[in-house]
Amino acid sequence: MFALTHCAACAEPLAHNAPRCVRCRTRYCNASCQHDHWRRGHMYNHFHPGRMSINWTDGIASCLDEMGRHEEALPLVRVVYDEARRVLSQREFSRASTAMDDYALNYALSLAMVLRKCGRYSESKPFLSEQVQHSLRVLGPDHVTILRLRCEHAQAIAYTSYVVVGGG
């Protein structure tokens, strides 16, 4: 969510002259982070001709979200998530399906976070439940993405309970 000022791999603040991907100009704090991000799925941005438009859409959605304009970001995040699922369902990159699943699940996480920020807890709760089950099958219980999805799911449950019981 800090596309312009933070490393795409580790989210650390960036120096002004931070290294960039030569193709799309994504920024990193060092070469190690750039290689790690490439292996975790960034490479797929450069293998599919339609991916760059999705990257721009994701970037715009991230900017809107950072500015607190969550309702405006939501339809864009949905488009990016749907495209990631479409690409994943085609299994264009079968040699690294786990990396692609992780890639798509990160978009699911982004969608869930924006849903929460929009106050749509009842919508995010079943969505996250489905994503947690899928990621457990694909990535295993200790993967960082599953842990983040579980955290979002717990928050959705807590907020839904709070609102239903009459807290707000």
More confident residue, 92 or 80: 80
Residue 99, pLDDT score: 59
Give the pLDDT confidence of 40-78 residue by residue, as tens digits: 767 656 554 455 567 777 888 888 888 999 999 999 899
Cβ partners under 8 Å of residue 58, min gap 6: 76, 77, 80, 107, 110
Q: What is the pTM of this model?
A: 0.61
Residue 136, pLDDT score: 84
pLDDT tier for residue 162 given thresholds of 50, 70 and 90 = low
Give the pLDDT confidence of 138-151 residue by residue, as tens digits: 778 888 888 888 98
Residue 1, pLDDT score: 41
Residue 22 has pLDDT above 50, yes or no: yes
pLDDT tier for residue 114 given thresholds of 50, 70 and 90 = very high
Q: Are 126 and 98 in contact (CB under 8 A)?
A: no
Quick one: CA dihedral 51, 54, 7, 127, positive or negative?
negative
